[in-house]
Amino acid sequence: EMRRLGGADSPAVQMVVQHPELAELVLPSLRNDYKAVETYRYQPGPDVSCPIVALRGDADPSVSEPEVRQWGGYTTGSFESREFRGGHFYLDDNSREIASLITERLR
């Protein structure tokens, strides 16, 4: 699944393949993420009032731009969507820009 999402050449995939001991640490969290996605059912309720900044990789096979924009419907605060070059693991190649964006928004 990691290969499908990020490609076999993704640094995240390569790290897990080359270091099986890391896979033992990472896979339980990944399995729990999938379990949460598979079992979560939205319950309508009050929206949050905080700003939301939604991020995605422009080549992510699992999250489309329209899906990301839907997050704007869950806040009465401001909404911003940002797209970065890359797939599901876009954080690998954009960490500085993303950290700067987060720091700026928190200020």
pLDDT tens per residue, range 8-36 = 677 777 888 888 898 888 889 888 988 99
Sign of CA dihedral 46, 81, 50, 42: positive
pLDDT tens per residue, range 72-91 = 999 999 999 999 999 888 88
In this prediction, residue 2 carries a pLDDT of 75
In this prediction, residue 34 carries a pLDDT of 87
In this prediction, residue 105 carries a pLDDT of 93
What is the C-alpha to C-alpha distance for residues 74 and 48, in angstroms, rounded to an integer?
6
